[in-house]
Amino acid sequence: LRCPMGSVSGFDLSTFSRFCPAGAEPAFLAQMTYTLLAPPVQVLDLALNDPSTHPCVDATSDATTSSAAQTVIATAGGVCNAVAFWYEAELDDEMTLSTDPSISPATRQAVFM
């Protein structure tokens, strides 16, 4: 997680900078002590091969924001100091790329404090 994005292995990825979350800090949650106060909740289902499913991106403008309500039910007591985000990309029927800290401890997650 590095924003803004630039060149990676010779590829210009600067266009993806508009998707960088403002206020997020990168963190290796698998290397931190924390208490999960609620189970993970899916906030977006995005089909990369079908732009009509992209609720956050208006192809006719530079708009990259959207909002939606999501109910999160705490299952443990404590104080919420941050909200963490990670993704799972289903590459095909058999392969999934995940940054879930319980599955991929070497990957970083986006943390909003």
Write the pLDDT tens digit of every residue in 102-111. 888 888 898 8
Is pLDDT above 90 for 13? no
Contacts of 17 (CB under 8 A, 6+ apart): 3, 4, 5
Helices (H) and strands (E) in the chain, counts: 0, 7
Q: How far apart are CA 84 and CA 113, in angstroms?
A: 9
Mean pLDDT comparison of 52-56, 78-82, 86-90, highest-scoring range:
78-82
Is pLDDT above 60 for 61? no
> Does the global pTM surpass 0.85?
no
Q: Which residues of 61-87 are buried (b: 16+ CB within 10 A; e: fewer)?
A: eeeeeeeeeeeeeeeeeeeeeeebebe
pLDDT of residue 1: 44
